[in-house]
Amino acid sequence: MDKKEAPVGEQPRVLLHNVGVPGSHEIDTYTGRGGYQAWEQALKQHQPAQIVEMVLESGLRGRGGAGFPTGRKWTFLPKGVHPRYLVCNADEGEPGTFKDRVLMEWDPHGVLEGIAISSYACEVEHAFIYLRGEYAQSFRRLQAAIDQASQRGYLGGNILESGYSLKISIVLGAGAYICGEETALLSSLEGARGHPKLKPPFPAVQGLYRKPTIVNNVETLFSVPFIVRNGAAWYRQWGTEKSPGPKLYCVSGHVARPGTYELPLGTHMRTLIEDVCGGPKDGVPLKAIIPGGSSTCALPADVAFRCSLDYESLEAAGTMLGSGAVIAVNERTCMVRLYQRIASFYAHESCGKCIPCREGTSWATQILARIESGQGRPEDVPLLLDICENITGRSFCPLGDALATPLSSSLRHFRDEYEFHIREKRCMPGAGGPQ
């Protein structure tokens, strides 16, 4: 990865402290910069329950998108049921998201240390990394790191004479977006078709191979060693009361300096876009901002600029922090075309299990394509809104909503653009023209 691809802001360097350091993926560099100390400390000084307690106190929330408190998830494991598994969700598939890749490529040992400590806390002896199949470099780096760490005795049997053993296996995904959903991920990990399963039972109670299983995002697990080493209070110096800690944001779209940045939760959107990312690209004003990946609702830029980047604030604005994938959309972009692209992604990635997602996303995509090609009908906008309403909350897993919610939001916020497109059979002036 060259320098251009790994731009790093000047904010707290916790999660990204190894990114950009030459040879950061090698174990010597990693240990030389304090790596695996938290792991030793955890094994020698803490009982598993104490670590769970620390993570609970830190207020760490899942970084995959849903923001569920990590420590609480861990407490759902039924007592005394073994074996149990921990799965690191590295399927990073949400359009606009590329933060986990940065961690896995630049700091694979950090990922392993996070998995190791969390596995120890959850009394897991076999952890899996379910890795997005296209992430070849992440795979090489992680596998090399597992080999190195095992050689040094950080992984394997009787780690550091503690009596605790841990094996970490990497399993490559086969390119399905649905496999980022935890139950579908587990099905896929078992070798079956990646389909979501009924909850309850939740994976923490009955997951992989019908055993208690914790599924956490890469960034979530990656945060754990810092909490163990420095304590919950230290961790809480960043962020808000309900959304504490540093967070990675991957910014893409029409900004001057897109990339992955580390900022505390609660940072103002304006700070991120204007100060950190250098403002809109080529000075073209922004029309909309998608704050957390394509499945979150786009906000008109002025509304977005009044928000701060944390779970509560964005929820209050009618959208979500999601995975922290901020996509900036400038005024030259046609919203119909944008949402036709997004819809076709969700139609393509629908797993096919339930009717509303399978049929609804594909129907919506057909209508959007028709509008885009100048064959829209006036009744198409209310029809699309109704299709979205019929998907929302009706589909088997949240993936149906992942299109329906943002699409219906865009139809409401940018209705004039859709209606113009239908009426005039072309993009609204200024939007979609040659850039």
Partner 1 sequence: MTEERTVVLTIDGQEVRCPAGWTIYQAATAAGIHIPTFCNHPKLVPVGACRTCLVEVESMRGLQTSCTVPVRQGLVVRVHTSPAAVKARHAMIEFLLTNHPLDCPVCDKGGECVLQDQAMADGPGVSRYVEEKRHKSKRQPLGDRIVLDQERCVLCWRCIRFLDEWADDHQLDLFGRGAATRLDTFAGRPLLSQWQGNTIELCPVGALTSRAFRFEARVWELTNTPSVCTLCAVGCSTTIGVKNNVLRRITPRENMQVNDAWICDTGRFSHRLVDPEDRLTQPLVRREGRLEPVPWAGALDLVARRFAAVLQEKGPAAVGALGSARATNEANYLLQRFVRAAWSCNNIDHLGRVPVGAQPLHSLPDLEEKDLILLIDFDPSAEAPLVELWLKKAVLRHGAKVIVAHPMPIELARYGGPWLSLRPGSEGSLLQGLARAVLEGGLDPKAIRATNLEEFRTWVKEHTPDQIERTTGVPAGALVAAARLLVEAKRPAILYGRQVASPLPDSGTTAWDGLSAALANLAVLLGNAEIAFVAGECNTLGAREMGVVPGQLPGGQALGDGQVRSQLAGLWGGKLAAERGLDLEGMMAEAEAGHLHALWVLESNPSGGALPADALARVPFLVVSDQVATETTALAQVVLPVSTLAETDGTLINLTGRLLRLHEAKRPPAQVQPAWRLIAEVAQRMLEGKRRRAWEFGGAAGVFAEIAKVVPSWRGLTLDAIEEDGWQPRPGQAGQSQAARRAFVHVDLGQEAGR
CB of 353 to partner 1, least distance (A): 5
Bridge partners of 329?
Answer: 288
Q: Taking the complex as a whole, how short is the minimal distance between the CB of residue 360 and partner 1, in angstroms? A: 6
Q: Which of 370, 241, 259 is nearest to 312 (CA)?
A: 241
How deeply is 7 buried, as exposed, middle or buried, from its count of CB atoms within 10 A (0-12, 13-18, 19+)?
middle
Phi, psi of 122, rounded to the nearest 5 degrees = -95, 5
State how far the alpha carbon of 184 is from the alpha carbons of 161, 225, 360, in Å.
37, 28, 20
Report the nearest approach of partner 1 to the CB of residue 392 (Å). 9
Token pair 């620390």: residue: 54
Considering beta carbons, is residue 399 or 427 the nearer one to partner 1?
A: 399
Q: How far is the CB of 323 from partner 1 (least distance, A)?
A: 22
| Residues near partner 1 (CB under 8 A) | 176, 178, 193, 198, 347-356, 358-363, 366-367, 370, 383, 390, 393-396
Give least dist CB 379 to partner 1, A: 8
Cβ nearer to partner 1, comparing 43 with 178? 178
Considering beta carbons, is residue 232 or 404 the nearer one to partner 1? 404
The answer to whether the Cα torsion of 231, 232, 238, 243 is positive or negative is: positive
Closest separation in Å from C-beta 190 to partner 1: 13
Reference 95, options 323, 320, 259, 276; nearest CA is: 323
* Contact status, residue 318 vs residue 303, Cβ threshold 8 Å: no
Distances (CA, A) of 106 to 16, 100, 274, 275, 412: 9, 10, 26, 25, 41
325: exposed, middle or buried (C-beta count within 10 Å: 0-12, 13-18, 19+)?
buried
- Least distance in Å: CB of 415 to partner 1? 19
Q: Report helix angle 48-58 to 218-230, nearest 10.
A: 100
Smaller CB separation from partner 1, 17 or 421:
421
Q: Could you give the CA distance from residue 97 to residue 267 in angstroms, rounded to a whole number?
A: 18
150/366 with CB nearer partner 1: 366
Nearer to partner 1, 127 or 364 (CB): 364
Beta carbons within 10 angstroms of residue 74's beta carbon:
22
Assess contact for 264 and 239: CB atoms under 8 A: yes
Maximum distance among all Cα pairs of the chain, rounded to whole angstroms = 73
* Residue closer to partner 1 (CB basis): 389 or 416: 389
What is the nearest approach in angstroms of partner 1 to the Cβ of residue 304?
Answer: 27
- Which of 142, 391 has the CB closer to partner 1? 391
Report residue 359 as tokens.
């049929």
Q: How far apart are CA 203 and CA 214, in angstroms?
A: 7
Query: Shortest Cβ distance from residue 92 to partner 1 (Å)?
Result: 19
